[in-house]
Amino acid sequence: MNSVWWVKRDFRVSDNECLSRAILNGGEVTPFFCWEPKIVDSGDYSIFHFQAQWQALEGLTEELNVRGSNIWVACGEVTNELDNLLKKYSFTHLYSHEETGNLISFQRDREVARWCKMRGIIWTEISQNSVLRGGNAQMRRKNSTSLDLRKTKPIPSPKQIRSPLTRSVPIRKWSWNELGTRLPKFSGCSMLPALQKVNEKNAWATLGSFFGSRAYYYSGGISSPNKAFQNGSRLSVHLAWGTISLRSIFSQLELKRNELDEENGRTLWKRSLRAFESRLYWRDHFIQRLESVSDMEVRVLNRAYENLEYEDNPELLDSWLAGKTGYPMVDACMRCLNETGFMNFRMRAMLVSFACFGLHLSWRTIHKPLARLFTDYEPGIHLSQIQMQAGVIGINALRVYSPSKQFLDHDPTAQFVKRWVPELVNRTPVEIAHAEECNIPEYIRPIVNQSVRSKKMKDQIYLIRKSDEGRLQSSKTLQTHGSQKKIPRKIKPKNNGQLELF
In this predicted structure, the answer to whether residue 141 has a pLDDT above a threshold of 80 is no
What average pLDDT does range 343-369 have in this prediction?
A: 98
Cβ of 144: how many Cβ atoms within 10 Å?
14
d(CA 214, CA 207): 10
Grade residue 145 by pLDDT with cuts at 50, 70 and 90. low
pLDDT 10s digits, 256-309: 999 987 666 578 899 999 999 999 999 999 999 999 999 999 999 999 999 999
Residue 97 pairs with which residues in a beta bridge? 126
Do 317 and 326 form a contact (C-beta atoms < 8 A)?
A: no
What average pLDDT does range 2-19 have in this prediction?
A: 98
pLDDT 10s digits, 164-192: 988 666 677 788 988 888 999 999 899 99
Cβ of 413: how many Cβ atoms within 10 Å?
9
Do 246 and 128 form a contact (C-beta atoms < 8 A)?
A: yes
Largest CA distance in the chain: 73
In this predicted structure, the answer to whether residue 500 has a pLDDT above a threshold of 50 is no
Task: Quote the percentage of the chain above a pLDDT of 70.
Answer: 93
pLDDT 10s digits, 95-113: 999 999 999 999 999 999 9
Residue type, 307: N
CATH of 130-155+208-502, one of 1.10.10.60, 1.10.579.10, 3.40.640.10, 3.40.1010.20: 1.10.579.10
Grade residue 494 by pLDDT with cuts at 50, 70 and 90. very low
Predicted pLDDT of residue 439:
86
Predicted pLDDT of residue 385:
96
What average pLDDT does range 456-460 have in this prediction?
A: 97
d(CA 184, CA 180): 5
d(CA 118, CA 101): 24
Cβ of 355: how many Cβ atoms within 10 Å?
28
pLDDT 10s digits, 396-405: 889 999 999 9
pLDDT 10s digits, 223-262: 999 999 999 999 999 999 999 999 999 999 999 999 987 6
What average pLDDT does range 349-361 have in this prediction?
A: 98
What average pLDDT does range 412-432 have in this prediction?
A: 97
CATH of 1-126, one of 2.130.10.10, 3.30.360.10, 3.40.50.620, 3.30.750.24: 3.40.50.620
pLDDT 10s digits, 61-87: 999 999 999 999 999 999 999 999 999
Q: Is 116 helix (H, G, I), strand (E, B) or coil?
A: helix
Do 209 and 233 form a contact (C-beta atoms < 8 A)?
A: no
Q: Decide which of 414 and 137 is more confident.
A: 414
Grade residue 144 by pLDDT with cuts at 50, 70 and 90. low
The domains of the chain are located at: 1-126, 130-155+208-502
Q: Model-level pTM?
A: 0.93
Q: How many CA atoms lie within 13 A of 266 on its CB side?
A: 7
Grade residue 438 by pLDDT with cuts at 50, 70 and 90. confident
What average pLDDT does range 480-497 have in this prediction?
A: 51
Task: Quote the percentage of the chain above a pLDDT of 90.
Answer: 82
R_g over Cα of the chain:
23
Cα–chain center distance at 294: 16
> CA distances (Å), 38 to each of 110, 375, 381, in order?
14, 19, 22
Report H helices in 263-393. Answer: 267-292, 314-322, 328-340, 345-353, 363-371, 379-389
Q: Decide which of 264 and 216 is more confident.
A: 216
Q: Which residues contact 264 (CB under 8 A, 6 or more apart)?
A: none
Q: What is the mean pLDDT of the chain?
A: 92
Do 120 and 33 form a contact (C-beta atoms < 8 A)?
A: no
CA pseudo-torsion sign 388, 393, 395, 397: positive
